[in-house]
Structure 1
Amino acid sequence: MERDRKRMERERKRMERDRKRMERERKRMEREIIEKEREWREIEREWREKEREWREKEREWREKEREWREKEREWREKEREWREKEREWREK
């Protein structure tokens, strides 16, 4: 009977240790999850910032492209006018 009682006591202590260990593990995992979530939020924030910067650059490039097309059109027009004048001068 005494042996049974000791065995039961050892079992109880072992179970208590296991319970504490599992509780520590659970808390550790919760902390890791919280940390990972924080890291992901930071990554998402950085990603949104990069997207915003990219959209801004894209907008700037489209504007520059539009300006260059306009300049190109103006130069072609000037070139046409000069050729026309040159032709007129030759005819005289």
Structure 2
Amino acid sequence: MASVCLHGYVEGRVQGVGFRQGTAAQAARLQVSGWVRNLPDGRVEVLLEGESDAVRSLAKWLEHGPPGAGVLAVTLQERPVEDAQGFVVQR
């Protein structure tokens, strides 16, 4: 299957609810590479890369996130594949 790369933002109650750790756990389960980080404006930024179905599955998970999250919007755009290795929770 073809690899894809999605970059974007998650808005809502997504900080202080385990969103980054939940995203990393889902990424590991789905074998998706990339990273996730909190932004000063309260959003979470993500880069997801891997097999198309796995990346799309993780993108779908972002729409609700972990228990306690209140996702209002997910905005993702396709980007050229960067050949990311592993998944990192950035500080």
Larger radius of gyration: 1
Of Structure 1 and Structure 2, which has the larger fraction of its residues in helix? Answer: 1
TM-score tier by shorter-chain length is under 0.3
Give TM-score scaled by structure 2 length: 0.21
Of Structure 1 and Structure 2, which has the larger fraction of its residues in strand? Answer: 2
Give TM-score scaled by structure 1 length: 0.21
